[in-house]
């Protein structure tokens, strides 16, 4: 997923996707905007067990940063992601999936990343969201 960048000393170094899109700040902005949508969503908001969405926002941001090649703080704190297992307590049906993706689309639109980066993230997020469905209609 990296691209090759020439750095000053003339050596070649791989740049992760995490770095290409702007690192921690970009992922924090994305996830913060996403949770603003969740906070207002009548279907999704009641699914979140904690009153304060801050800790959930933190976990999700750290997960995405790690996934795209940033620091491994997520797994240092939480262990292996096992995302399907961690979603098992929640009813993730088609409606929840659609609402989740809608807020994610809004958040990505707000970020206004270059088209190629936007598409890379969106493709991953739509694929991951479909794989999280655990309750048939
Ligand atoms: C498809 C609809 C989805 C719904 C309705 C949903 C809902 C939830 C809920 C209710 C939680 C618990 C909040 C918390 O206390 O952390 C959670 C946690 C989490 N979700 Fe989702 N989620 C969805 C899709 C996804 C996708 C596609 C990803 C990854 C790309 C993801 C990543 C995470 C992560 C990393 C956590 C925290 C896991 C941990 O405990 O360490 N979710 N989600």
Quote the ligand 1 centre to 46 CA distance (angstroms): 13
CA atoms of 28 and 33, how far apart (whole Å): 8
Q: What is the distance between the alpha carbons of residues 92 and 115, in angstroms, rounded to a whole number?
A: 29
Residue 133 near residue 78 (C-beta atoms within 8 A) = no
- Closest by alpha carbon to 128, among 63, 69, 57? 63
Q: How much distance in Å is there from the Cα of 60 to the middle of ligand 1? A: 7
Q: How far is the CA of 16 from the centre of ligand 1 (A)?
A: 24
Distances (CA, A) of 29 to 17, 109, 133, 136: 16, 12, 25, 32
pTM equals 0.93
Q: Pick the residue whose CA is nearest to atom 25 on ligand 1.
A: 129
Q: Give pLDDT, residue 13.
A: 72
* 29-71 residue pLDDT tens: 999 999 999 999 999 999 998 999 999 999 999 999 999 999 9
Nearest CA residue ID for atom 14, ligand 1? 56
């Amino acid at each position: 997923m990296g691209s090759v960048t020439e750095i000053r000393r003339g050596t070649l170094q791989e740049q992760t996707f995490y770095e290409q899109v702007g690192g921690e700040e970009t992922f924090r902005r994305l996830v913060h905007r996403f949770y603003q949508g969740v906070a207002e969503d009548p279907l999704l908001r009641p699914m979140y067990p904690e009153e304060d969405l801050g800790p959930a926002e933190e976990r999700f941001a750290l997960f995405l940063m790690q996934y795209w090649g940033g620091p491994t703080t997520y797994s240092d704190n939480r262990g292996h992601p096992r995302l399907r297992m961690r979603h098992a307590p929640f009813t993730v049906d088609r409606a929840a999936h659609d609402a989740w993706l809608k807020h994610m689309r809004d958040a990505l639109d707000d970020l206004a990343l270059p088209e190629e980066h936007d598409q890379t993230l969106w493709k991953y997020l739509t694929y991951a969201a479909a794989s999280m469905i655990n309750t048939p209609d």
